[in-house]
Amino acid sequence: MRLSEIPEGFKTLLPKEVKEREKLVGKLKDVVERWGYEPILPPTIEFLGLFKAVDERFEELSFKLIDRKTGRLLAVRPDFTPQVARIVSSSFKDDEPPFRFYYAGSVFREWGGSRELSQFGFELIGVKEVEADAEVIAVIANILSELKVKNFQIDIGHSQFLEGALKELSLADREEVVKLLNQKDFSGIEFYCEERGIEGERREKLLKLLELYGKEEVLFKAGELFKNELSQKALSELLSVYRILKSYGFEENVIFDLSEKRGMDYHKGITYEVFHPLLGSSLGIGGRYDELLKKFSRELPATGITLNLDSLAELLEKKGYSQDLDKKDFYIIDLKEDKTIAYLLAKELRSRGYKTARDILKRDYESSVEIAFKKGFKFVVVLNREESPRNLIYTSPESSFPVVGDPLKGVLSLLEGKR
């Protein structure tokens, strides 16, 4: 094994990316804090049982270790939401809801692709009315407009609508049907019906169920098709959410999909997923999980969403949004053996709040100048040249001005002159 080898699915962020990421998280925090959400930081490791209790899939998905103190299995956090639920039901058991929490950090999953996912999420716990779902969606819309992302779509579904529809159709091999519906496999559904002799109205309804995605008219079509109580209740919830979102002016950014089952097992009720045309995968996913807190003996309705920060960063990069986040101010090249002047100048500039770095590599200074501009420095100062003028300040690789007299004073006066 070479020491430079790294395991599959884990990556390093380099300075530019880290800065952009921090800035991005900073913006997200600003927005959710304005909506009254408070930070929470759950531990990286918990008992596996916590996660397994809410969704069996976490047993396979989690990185596991054995707790030497208890002999029980531990999981490296595969999901934040169950942790937040646990914390609310223990640390806040005497507090009055609602609770609004947000978090930022990594979740780890044993699967193909990225095994460390960088997430930002927020949860609204204790409100059963659809206003809570509308709030979460509105916060997302708020975040995206703050990031100047316009063409996003929030895809809204409802697990209980689908549940009701599937029960009404009383289909065998439920899991297979859910898979076919999730893949929007029209031909697959036709074949499924043919194989099992499903005909007439049941077949028609199942095929129409697959088509229940699109703008708000989908809600009315769905209401005509599935009259069972569970589905009807779900539809009236969706309609109320839609009305609220419309009053916020987001109706253009909302699309419905009633035939897909999304999210984790604990998501029961309205679910939402965020898409953008420039990105092949979703930016985030979330929804209602009213049943989840019950597992921790605290019956509280809840809803929330997690954004995938890697996807969000990729989108922002594609849109060229992040470019000026990375500007650095001064790069100082001192050609003399004794670098005292460069040191003092850098110190002075830093104390005035300028981001300043020094060239400490030995190479010809023209290429240093070029590299400095490539790395995003705004100015390059060259000190102690052999020819005259001795000191120069570059404002681009091509243009420079002489710095007269004391370098610091010269640089500062040039800066003021430029402004």
Partner 1 sequence: MEITFALPKGRLLKESVKFLLKCQIDAEETLKESRKLVFRKGGFKFLLVKPMDVPTYVYYGAADVGIAGKDVIEEKGYELYEPLDLGFGKCRLSVAEPVNIEEPYDLEKLSSIRVATKYPKTTDSYFRSKGIHPEIIVLYGSVELAPLVGLSDRIVDLVQTGTTLRENGLREVDVILNSTARLVVNRASLKTKYGKIKPIIEKMKEVIANQR
**Where on the chain is the footprint of partner 1 (CB under 8 A)?**
151-153, 155, 183-188, 191, 213-214, 255, 257, 273, 275-282
Q: How far is the CB of 286 from partner 1 (least distance, A)?
A: 15
CB closer to partner 1 out of 279 and 392 = 279
Q: How far is the CB of 317 from partner 1 (least distance, A)?
A: 14
CB closer to partner 1 out of 36 and 214 = 214
CB closer to partner 1 out of 213 and 354 = 213
Give the separation between CA 123 and CA 303, rounded to whole angstroms.
6
Strands across the sheet with 73-76, in order?
45-47, 73-76, 63-66
CB closer to partner 1 out of 216 and 290 = 216
CB closer to partner 1 out of 184 and 233 = 184
Give the separation between CA 84 and CA 231, rounded to whole angstroms.
29
Which residues make Cβ contacts (< 8 Å) with residue 58, sequence separation at least 6?
A: 48, 51, 52, 75, 78, 79
Answer for the pair 245, 251: CB distance below 8 angstroms, yes or no: yes
Return the amino acid letter for 332: I
Closest C-alpha to 239, from 156, 359, 360, 178:
156
Q: How far is the CB of 213 from partner 1 (least distance, A)?
A: 8
CB closer to partner 1 out of 182 and 396 = 182
Q: How far is the CB of 198 from partner 1 (least distance, A)?
A: 18
Q: How far is the CB of 277 from partner 1 (least distance, A)?
A: 4
Per-residue HEC secondary structure of 208-249 comes to HHHCCEECCHHHHHHHHHCCCHHHHHHHHHHHHHHHHHHHHC
Q: How far is the CB of 182 from partner 1 (least distance, A)?
A: 8
Q: Give rounded-to-5 percent helix, strand, coil for the chain.
A: 45, 20, 35
Q: How far is the CB of 280 from partner 1 (least distance, A)?
A: 2
Which residues make Cβ contacts (< 8 Å) with residue 402, sequence separation at least 6?
A: 389, 391, 392
CB closer to partner 1 out of 184 and 385 = 184
Give the separation between CA 50 and CA 283, rounded to whole angstroms.
26
Give the separation between CA 365 and CA 363, rounded to whole angstroms.
6
